[in-house]
Amino acid sequence: METANILTDPTDPTTTIALPAGVAPVTPSTVSPLNTRFEIPEAFRGLDYPESWDDMVGQELAKNQIRLAAKSARIRSKPLAHTLIASGVAGLGKTSLALLTAAEMGTKVVPIAGQTTAQDFRVLVNENDLQDGDLVLMDEFHKMMDGGKRNAEWMLHYLQDFTLMGPLGPEKMPHITIIAATTHASVLPETILGRFPLIPQMTGYTLEEASRVAAKMAERVLADSYSLASQPTESNCEIIAEASNRNPRAIRQLLCTLRDLAVTGEIGFDPHDGYDMDIVLMQFGVTADGLDRAAQRYLVTLAEVFNGTAGEEALKDMLQEPGGLNTVERVLFDKRLVTRAAKGRTLTNKGKLRVQNLDVTL
């Protein structure tokens, strides 16, 4: 029976990480990058993105898969294969992986988001002087399908042989790697999915990983607090991780609330116990188990208005939540408080118990 490879986490030498059986860790390479054009795109400067693979907590399998492909590409002096970074949950590190990949390859990276036409792409390439081996980060890649699959046909040609269809026929373009990031890979047709040789496997963060994310992120978030805010304790970071559903994006938002409370003197710091996290969570509007106000309203509405079961459209009409219910429902499904049923959505027994402890006025 194969055993898992054990890595020492570079961000915490006391912690080990198990890769799946048969997956070999990729060691840092001394191979020269394909070129030396990498720089952080202006849109991402000054934000909380990791500066190195070692600085990025979690996603060990995805990082290992990308680094192996990048190392191989550099040895062969070839562009990195087109890469699809997909996760149903926002904030798990898709953009971080893309930026670190560009740094690993030593190539230029240019971001673009949303629905993109062939002409948009042509202009992007020309205006940014993109060359063989450079990368284009296409965020919200699923929006390529807006308006029907025909709108994405040009991308199929480019992924296949680096050509764009022009008025005079096929037009050869530089061999640029597409790094596509999406939270809705299910809407992409198989013809598009099949053109991405590299699809790193994203996973959710464990509580321990999310707590370390909170600790590392707190150093940056609190850096401009003029010493009016202290670094949260390990226990504080665990509470932040759980209340944010172990999501780095939500962790940062919670830390900003903590910082603002500390800087304005609304909350004190105890050297032993740290901050009173009940105050922080109340100000942020979330429970200790990660239910924001939208999730709380959803549960109480389903229980009290619909007696535990309701159709999807009826819930949407009643709650009128901006942006729809997808994000809220994903959290409630993950926590097994709500489940899909023949008639729409229904409270689980766990959900019924949780509603009894919620204080929400409809």
The predicted pLDDT at position 9 comes to: 43
Helix residue spans in the chain (DSSP H): 60-75, 94-105, 118-127, 153-161, 190-193, 207-221, 234-243, 248-263, 277-284, 293-304, 312-319, 326-334, 349-355
pLDDT digit string, tens, across residues 195-207? 999 999 888 899 9
Q: Are residues 153 and 276 in the same domain?
A: no
Same domain, 183 and 140: yes
CB–CB of 181/215 below 8 Å?
Answer: no
Which of 161, 193, 225 terminates a domain? The answer is 193
Does 163 share its domain with 268?
no
Residue whose pair of structure tokens reads 């699923």 in the numeric block: 142
pLDDT for 229: 85
Instruction: Show the DSSP H helices in 106-174 as ranges.
Output: 118-127, 153-161
Q: In the predicted model, is pLDDT for residue 166 greater than 60?
A: yes
Residue 179 or 189, more confident = 179
Is the pLDDT assigned to residue 18 strictly greater than 70? no
pLDDT band at 140 (very low <50, low <70, confident <90, very high): confident
**127 & 171 share domain:** yes
187 and 212 housed in the same domain: no
Asked whether residue 360 is assigned to any structural domain, the reply reads no
Q: Both tokens of residue 69?
A: 């492909």
What is the distance between the alpha carbons of residues 156 and 118, in angstroms, rounded to a whole number? 11
Number of domains in the chain: 3
Residue at a domain's end among 284, 304, 336: 284
Instruction: Please state the rounded mean pLDDT for residues 231-250.
Output: 95
Please check the confidence at residue 28 and state whether its pLDDT lies above 60.
no
Does residue 277 sit in the same domain as residue 298?
no
Q: Does residue 13 lie within any of the structural domains?
A: yes
Span 142-150, average pLDDT: 72
- Are residues 109 and 153 in contact, defined by beta-carbon separation less than 8 angstroms? no
Which of 146, 161, 193 finishes a domain? 193
Residues 218 and 238 in one domain: yes
The verdict on 152 and 241 lying in the same domain is no
Give the total residue count for the chain.
Answer: 362
CATH number of the CATH domain containing 347 = 1.10.10.10
Domain check: are 241 and 212 in the same one? Answer: yes
Query: Are both 39 and 124 inside the same structural domain?
Result: yes
Lowest mean pLDDT among 105-109, 208-212, 213-217, 252-256: 105-109
Those residues with Cβ within 8 angstroms of residue 168's Cβ, 6 or more apart along the chain or in another chain: none
pLDDT level of residue 29 (50, 70, 90 thresholds): low
Query: How distant, in Å, are the alpha carbons of 95, 127, 162, 356 from that of 36?
Result: 20, 19, 22, 59
pLDDT band per the 50, 70, 90 thresholds, residue 17:
very low
- In this structure, the number of other CB atoms found within 10 A of the CB of residue 357 comes to 8
pTM of the predicted protein model: 0.77
The distance of Cα 47 from the centroid of its chain, to the nearest Å, equals 14
143, 34: one domain = yes
Determine which of 73-82, 183-192, 238-247 has the lowest per-residue pLDDT on average: 183-192
Reply yes or no on whether the pLDDT at 356 is more than 90. yes
Domain CATH for 59:
3.40.50.300
More confident residue, 167 or 331: 331
Burial (CB count within 10 angstroms: exposed 0-12, middle 13-18, buried 19+), residue 34: buried
216: containing domain: 207-284
The angle at the Cα of 254, spanning 251 to 259, to the nearest 5 degrees, equals 120
Contact present, 296 and 357 (Cβ < 8 Å)? no
Average pLDDT over residues 210-231: 88
